Structure 1
Amino acid sequence: MAEPSTTPIRLLIADDHPIVRDGIRGMFAGDPDFEVLGEAADGARAVELARALSPDVILMDLRMPGTDGVAAIKELARLGSAARVLVLTTYDTDRDVLPAIEAGATGYLLKDTGRDELVRAVRTAARGEAVLSPSVATRLLGQVRTPADPLSTRELEVLRLIAEGGTNREIAARLFISEATVKSHVLHIYTKLGVNDRAAAVAAAFRRGLLTTDGA
């Protein structure tokens, strides 16, 4: 049996459901290796508490009102927070997993994770090592093995105009198509790039080489 840590791993729980926070807190209650410093119901509060309490690991839900988990992870990274973020969520779609990992999450687990697995994951995250649930690991591996759906020529045109700051109406006028058609192209772009908004689409496109600074 492992010896208790000299200094407990300090935790912060961020989830908008009180019953979930209570359940997570209960998993670590009475274990001298862990100390729950606080709880947050949204991402903004999680960032605030992380700055004030300096936790070792933040158990972060993704879909919360106001500031969501991914935005909170990005802000923590911008602030240079030393806390490791372990995502604990119900969702394992590309639109959830990839942005969280790219934002800087150390690990990604689903809420059906058992207590023993969660404890091991927190220990792993506290060491700065990546930890992924099997379904998430499989999904990420699939992203590496299988290239993302290529954007069509029209979708690339729309994406370039988005990068230039064009609205759907302006893009429709430039390409001589309807606004509804532009909206459809934008949604297809989001799906293929695994993003949720225009800024993320442009960032992903530059990262993948679909857009370049010279406009090519």
Structure 2
Amino acid sequence: MPTPLAYEEIKECFRRWQEADPAPKSELNYVNPYTLVVAVALSAQATDAGVNKATRALFEEVQTPQAMLELGEAGLIEHIKTIGLFRNKAKNVIALSRILVEEHDGEVPASRAALVALPGVGRKTANVVLNVAFGFPAQAVDTHIFRVSNRTGLAMGKDVLAVERAIEDRVPVQYQQHAHHWLILHGRYICVARKPRCPDCLIRDICTFEEKIL
């Protein structure tokens, strides 16, 4: 079990990540808050690259909930059929688009409660939208962030909500806005699940992971 990092150690980790990548961005392609909601909803159990490939033509044609309703479920399926669980995801996208039109004047609400009420939108998706589209320091914890936070001792927790709270509590406020992206990119490309690339890690001298690959 890694030892929890001290505040100054956490601050130094994020200082280094910020220095290396001052303004990290989502790897999902989107045009506006609505297409971001759709892209994140489609990304469940799928890669960002796969979603981007499927939505490239879709987002040229569809950029609003009303346009999605006009495209229809069958039309949407034709665009996203290369993505896992595409039929269920298509149903959810059409349903959430209808709710946005009927209850929110076609606009994506900047509220976690309103977002998670949409079909196919869970807390993680809502936090991504709040962070990326609206600039809120929301922490969306996926498998990469859960692994990195626990493995390094940065923000430990038994479940994703506990890790989300730990990040909010332990990460210095000046790094909260981009914390989600720095952590997910670190987990996706450096602190990978099976063979972490410890020699390439910016924080390997701080990280308390006992099975480092030197």
Q: Which has the larger Rg? A: 1
TM-score range, shorter chain: under 0.3
Larger helix proportion of the pair: 2
Higher relative contact order (CA 8 A, sep 6+): 2
TM-score, normalised with respect to structure 1: 0.22
Larger strand proportion of the pair: 1
TM-score, normalised with respect to structure 2: 0.22
